[in-house]
Amino acid sequence: MTAKPVEEIVIGEIKVSTDVVFSYVTGAVLEVEGVLGLSGGIGDTLSKNILGRENKYQGVKIESVDDGYNIDIYVIIRYGERIPDIAWNIQKKVKQMLTDVMQIDIHSVNIHVQGVQKDDEPTIQKDDIPEPEESK
């Protein structure tokens, strides 16, 4: 099974911009109790520092595979929370949202905990999520 980056997601005859999917996933993740924010991970850091490109939906990666899509989510968890419970809640919420609301076949939802921190340290919050660009 070969994974490849996704530009758009096809649902039957409907093509959905990945911006829309990223926005839904990011919103769902940030609604989970115990998640303080998203982290870009090493790939986003390298892209920003070396190539000068910044991923506007840092912390979420979507790849197409034979039987659906792989979703990788990079999160910062609130200090003192039970990490396995939060990871499970993120997986459940994202998979349910994508399958129920968008009818997308999900192969996996992988959670990568990039760190833990206290509430008073800066993170990416829901208000920081860019709105999806309109299709031309």
Asked whether residue 19 is assigned to any structural domain, the reply reads: yes
Q: Which CATH number characterizes residue 17's domain?
A: 3.30.70.1350
Asked whether residue 92 is assigned to any structural domain, the reply reads: yes
Asked whether residue 62 is assigned to any structural domain, the reply reads: yes
Asked whether residue 111 is assigned to any structural domain, the reply reads: yes
Asked whether residue 131 is assigned to any structural domain, the reply reads: no
Instruction: Provide the residue range defining the domain that includes 66.
Output: 4-118
Tens digit of pLDDT for each residue in 53-109?
555 668 899 898 888 899 999 999 999 999 999 999 999 999 999 999 888 889 999
Asked whether residue 136 is assigned to any structural domain, the reply reads: no
> Is 87 exposed, middle or buried (CB count within 10 Å of its CB: 0-12, 13-18, 19+)?
buried
Asked whether residue 107 is assigned to any structural domain, the reply reads: yes
Asked whether residue 66 is assigned to any structural domain, the reply reads: yes
61: Cβ contacts below 8 Å, ≥ 6 apart: 41, 43, 71, 72, 73, 74
- The tally of domains found in the chain comes to 1
Q: What does the pLDDT read at residue 107?
A: 92
